[in-house]
Amino acid sequence: MDRFTKISSFILTVGCVFGIAATTAETSCDASKMDAFAYEDCIAAQRGVKIDNTDFSERAAPPPELVSESYVEPFKYDPFQRDAYLTSSFGENRGTRYHAGIDYSTEMEEGWPIFAPENGYVKEVQTSPFGYGKVMYFEGNSGKTWVFAHQSSFTPAVENAVRQKQYATKSNDVTVKPNIRFRKGAPLTYSGSTGIGNPHLHLEVRLNKDEIVSPCQLGVKCLDTIAPQIFGVAVWQGNNLSLTTDQALRNGCAETPVKNEFNLSMAIKIADYSREPKENPMAIRRLELWRYDEKIYSKVMDKLSYRKMLDIRNELLWAEEADTAGDWHYINAKIGPISTYRLEIEDFSGHITKREFSFHHSCKNNGTIKLVQNQTSPVYTFLSKSMLDMYRCESGYSFAALDKNEQVINGDLCKIFNHNKPTTIGKIIEVFPETKFIRYSASAAATGTGRSVNELISVYSFTGFQNNINWHTQIGDVGISQKISGIPVVSDTSRRVLAVTRNQTDSVDYFEFHPKGMQFYGKWEVCIDNPNNPAPLYWLGETTRRWFYFDKQTGSKKRCATTNELRDVANITDNDGITLGFPYWSEVFFAGERKLALKIPLFSKYAGVPNGNSITVKAGNKWIAAEYDSEPREIVILGDDLPEVGASITVQVTDELKRKTIKEFDVPGI
């Protein structure tokens, strides 16, 4: 009996028209209620000038005057030969790297056929439960390498090559070079969700081993109907910082923390959405700033270099609310207060958002900007700076500055610093240079967590030209050492600050390191000498809020780990290991067809599966290929590979701590 049902798909098309509505001579032009560009258009319309109301959603490519020098002539390509909206764009902030391609939504479905972009051959395919999952590298006759990631399966000829390699090597994770040719427009591979996340296609185009180009600039279909959105502006000089909402910016005003002072720094928080409802904020293609008629800053994201990926932290400043919409884009230009500026932001489909503004000490109708997300301690990161949440003074927190011997320098910082302004820890050290610790305390009622707090923040200040640090500190009975090399050099001569404090959840005591997201061209080696808990070190995922085992760590009592970015760290005792749930039958895509597969849930609290080859499935002495689906955590075995119903199979899983879980199952009935 055919037990499969045909899944119908639908295409959601949402059109958004941008531009200024036609204005009649009777329309009132109110400069106090319009941004500068709307006001200028209104006045021009009253004079009889025809206003350009172009629907940017129908623009095939940016106009010539907005095209960068690296713009490539369109290469018309529709991967699915059906509409699919972008969910992630080229150059998006992915923590320690830029997003090297574009992502398409497949409407939560797997198995969408993907067609060859040009004549060429399959250069390589890889299988893995993480990263790109099942990925195909297709080299076209043009010399470009097209990368299709997170696939559910490949075409039959390619799948046969993969299976032969798996059974020959008894490895689930394999790399194969099929050298199979495909003509333009032929079915090439099938979308899926392997590696991570919901079903979608990740597509990228590589020009060589170092350069990646935006597919949108090659004429690949990039459906995006909404112009970029501004969420806020940050202006600072040293450790003095002001914030402005887009509401105030639309009225032509941006706040500056210092009056009539030059050498200001500025960052803009921006996100782009592809359609309504607004989900999955994306990156932008072009950001430019003009002082009067002079272009003083331009950043165009048409190409990326793998060698320069680490520059992301100099260009997209990390903030505690990093998993909210938008990124803070640093404007690397000399900015002064007594000028009029024009901001232009363009997405990958040619939509443009503009603002014209000047700097003022305060802006009318300026609102507040959220600075933290999932943050319980009063120390946080904003714009790659270590910050102290002085607003907590309003709810009963107290803060004191201490010297290296933990003696009080100032016992009430709440009286010194403005509770309603963002306060850098660097500013506190400028006022009290001997500060080595900040103690914060609050009652259970003040914390709102049901428990009181009395904790230290250890701080280390340095200049923007210092690129190596060797710092040891003590918080309670725990010794914390950090060796850092390759700190990005900045021209800002104000004090920069590293900070660490102890925090806890219901199940884990851990150490927060700030500024979070700080990335190094060298490495960060952190050692935790914790006499009460010498367990292995784990790091906290900022968006997943899950703990991950440090695969590069040493020591038995004093634990040391190495990476290239500051992270929250915990000593975690994991006695549970991995357990396997009950197997059940489900459907998967294989070689473009629906197939039955046996799925076995896998449960682990902390230590997980390091790779697909950590899983071994056997029927007697016969090795059977298996796939590990990392989201949800399941072992997937094709039904065609299994023995008859009732026969026994053995599943073995080795976790990150090298512990083995072995369990026998009887193949269940369908």
Q: HEC string of 475-493?
A: ECCEEEEEEEECCCCCCCC
Give the residue carrying structure tokens 């935790």: 528
Place of tokens 């409802």: 277
Alpha helices in 120-245 (DSSP H): 156-169
Q: 291 phi and psi, to 5 degrees?
A: -105, 110
* Residue 379 tokens, joined: 């120390």
What is d(CA 235, CA 240) in angstroms, rounded to the nearest whole number?
8
Please say whether the beta carbons of 591 and 570 come within 8 A: no
Do the domains at 379-571 and 578-666 have one common CATH topology? no
387 exposure class (CB count in 10 Å sphere: 0-12, 13-18, 19+): buried
pLDDT at 49: 57
pLDDT at 2: 35
Q: What is the pTM of this model?
A: 0.84
Q: How far apart are CA 89 and CA 222, in angstroms?
A: 9
Break the chain into its structural domains and give their ranges.
379-571, 578-666
Q: What is the pLDDT of residue 52?
A: 44
Other Cβ atoms closer than 10 A to 648: 12
What would the two tokens of residue 238 be?
């040293």
DSSP string over 520-570: EEEEEEEEEE-TT--PPEEEE-TTT--EEE-SSEE-SSEEEEEEEE---EE
Correct CATH for 379-571 of 2.60.220, 2.60.40, 1.10.287, 2.10.270: 2.60.220
Both structure tokens of 595: 């197939």
pLDDT attached to residue 543: 72
Do 480 and 511 contact (CB within 8 A), yes or no?
yes
- φ, ψ of residue 581 to 5 degrees: the values are -90, -165
DSSP line for 62-117? --GGG--TT------B-SSSS--BEEE-TT-B-SSSB--SEEEE-TT-S--EEE-S
pLDDT at 7: 29
> How far is residue 311's CA from residue 252's CA, in Å, rounded to a whole number?
31
Provide the token pair at 175.
């790399």
DSSP 309: G
* Tokens describing residue 301: 């994201």
**Mean pLDDT, the chain cut into blocks of 10 residues (670 residues total):** 32 30 48 49 62 37 41 68 92 88 94 96 97 96 96 96 97 97 96 91 96 94 92 94 95 91 92 90 96 94 92 84 81 90 95 95 90 87 93 96 97 95 95 97 91 96 88 96 89 87 89 88 94 93 84 90 92 92 96 95 93 97 96 95 97 95 95
The third-level CATH classification (topology) of the domain covering 578-666 is Immunoglobulin-like (2.60.40)
- Own/partner contacts of 465-468, CB < 8 Å, gap of 24 or more, are 465/489, 465/493, 468/522
Under 8 Å between Cβ of 337 and 265: no
Tokens at 652, concatenated: 């073995």
pLDDT of residue 50: 56
Q: What is the pLDDT of residue 71?
A: 39
Pick from 584, 529, 579, 524: nearest CA to 558: 529
